Chain A
Amino acid sequence: MQSNAALEYDYSLAKKFTFLTILFGFLGMLVGTIIAAQLAFPELNYLLGEYGTFSRLRPIHTNTVIFGFTVSGVFATWFYFGQRVLKVSIAESRFLMVLGNIQFWLYFLGALAATVSLLLGISASKEYAQYEWPFDIVVVLVWVLWGINMMGLIGIRREKALYISVWYYLACFLGIAMLYLFNNMEIPTYFTSGGLGNPLHSVSMYAGTNDALVQWWYGHNAVAFGFTVPIVGMIYYFLPKESGQAIYSYKLSLLSFWGLMFVYLWAGSHHLLWSTVPDWMQTMGSAFSVVLILPSWGSAINMLLTMKGEWNQLTENPLIKFMVLASTFYMLSTIEGPIQAIKSVNAIAHFTDWIPGHVHDGVLGWVAFMIMASIFHMAPRMFKKELYSKKLMEAQFWLQTTAVVLYFTSMWIAGITQGMMWRAVDEYGNLMYSFIDTVTVLHPYYTIRALSGVMYLTGFIMFAYNIYKTMVAGKELSQEPQFRTPMA
């Protein structure tokens, strides 16, 4: 590998995955908004026959935002900053370029086919693991291709030290690989029964309590290695780069990395409190969840302190606003989660709307904000154009921030009301309310959530439009900006 004066980073793969991030983000959030509306107005279930029911659409929402939107965002940012922090262009290796393109097409077509399969009702019936076995094989192939690409790029790097974001992305790769494989161990019934039933159908290798344990070890660590680890990696690159300030404490970033790795894996059983899993395991899940505040806040505080002495940027640069708000929402959801994991609190919170409320202050405020901010940062560098409109970004920021607040506050009220009503007893110990009483009371909050969905989705469309206009009508940049992203 020789250094070559005309050597440049190659953003073609980053661009491709950026398009997918926007496509799947739009689809996933559109379906999210539809199911939110269905919960408020059940008649909306019957518009498209079996294909429009809540039960068909909910897995499409969750899988599309996780495996479509978030994972594309992770791929897009990797193919952008991976090159930069390793100081090597992916175009220096034809092999890696070809591999990356195979990964892209396999992923794109696989994800579309998998989404259609869910629409047709083909499902393995495990949460966030609904894709049936042929699609699982595609997921594994895509993941292995990404792994080879990542290790390959690391192998030909010029910068010997691996920047902290690379650590986080490596952990994302290893973590998801392990989780996905183990949770999706399943037997295709057609082939083992000598040709009975549907070839797409499978049964899990686990049953009963074991199934629940493996499922929530997976489910919770999907949050860890999909929604936390790569997003922390993202902010550790994009916030310093955008603000021109190095990470406040690199040592703290290393320490909280190992802290997260160590603690997260044990917290999953907080999804199974008061269930049939061994008692010590439930207690362990609770305890580790509370301890999880430390590495989470360690990362978040490190992000916020990176802005030390430069807080004026918060008012001047909307991109900094997105990222600072993202880390603030990260703090909110990582204090809320541990609170919900305390056994006595969980007795009220479990099965209620407080849980999706918690999920969405994290995913809307933290994950999606950070992915959009990363794309805002990358777009002018990838397309060599100024961002199309700062005003539109500001408007999007406020619209979506309001939407997130409406989402989680309505679900807090709904969830706690529900939890209290379910357990309320009269003086003789009889339950005071039937299920439908709670539904009636919760109707206004479901309506507010549906409204917040419309607002967030509108914000996402504004984002997509801004990126599109940047591509086709942004002012040409003569030089790649070093720090602050130029915007009109």
Chain B
Amino acid sequence: MDISEIQGYASFFMTIFLVIMLYGYIIHLYRSEKRGERDYEKYGNIALDDEITSKPVEDKPASQRYKEENK
């Protein structure tokens, strides 16, 4: 097998891998909303309510908040 063939195969398998990752991501997004762990849609309000005095939509990273809530 010469180098260009190896590159071809590598690219093919990487594509498959990335496709799986991308589909996994969709499932992750919907599943974590369904379980009530995250609400992604509320982030849309960051643009609408963006005065410097407005209350942040999230004052801690979500992962940290989740940990605290489930302690």
Contact = CB atoms under 8 A, between A and B. Distances in A.
A181 to B, nearest CB: 22
A161 B52 contact: no
Contact of A87 (B22, B41, B43, B50): B50
Interface in B48-67: 48, 50-54, 56-62
A251 B51 CA distance: 24
Given A251-B41, A278-B8, A84 B22 contact: no
A241 B48 contact: yes
Given A161-B46, A246-B41, A259-B22, A87 B58 contact: no
B57 to A, nearest CB: 6
B29 A280 contact: no
A236 interface: yes
A258 B44 contact: no
Contact of A249 (B8, B41, B53): B41
B63 to A, nearest CB: 10
A284 B4 CA distance: 13
A254 B40 CA distance: 9
Contacts of B47: 81, 84-85, 163, 165, 236-237, 240-241, 246-247
B25 A258 contact: yes
B58 A160 contact: yes
B45 interface: yes
B26 interface: yes
A232 interface: no
A427 B59 CA distance: 75
A163 B46 contact: yes
Nearest to A287: B15
B56 A87 contact: yes
Contacts, number: 95
A164 B26 CA distance: 16
A246 B48 contact: yes
B44 A161 contact: no
Given A87-B56, A258-B22, A161 B62 contact: yes
A240 B49 CA distance: 10
A476 interface: no
Given A87-B54, A160-B59, A284-B11, A247 B44 contact: yes
B58 A250 contact: no
Interface string B1-45: 000100110010001001000100110011001000000110111
Contact of A241 (B22, B30, B50): B50
B48 A84 contact: no
Nearest to A245: B48
Contacts of B43: 161, 163-164, 250
Interface in A72-105: 81, 83-85, 87-89
6 contacts: A84-B50, A87-B52, A159-B46, A159-B58, A244-B48, A280-B4
Interface of A: 7-9, 81, 83-85, 87-89, 158-161, 163-165, 236-237, 240-241, 244, 246-247, 249-251, 254-255, 258-259, 262, 266, 278, 280-281, 284, 483
Q: Which 6 A-B pairs have the closest CB atoms?
A: A246-B44, A84-B50, A280-B8, A159-B56, A163-B46, A161-B58
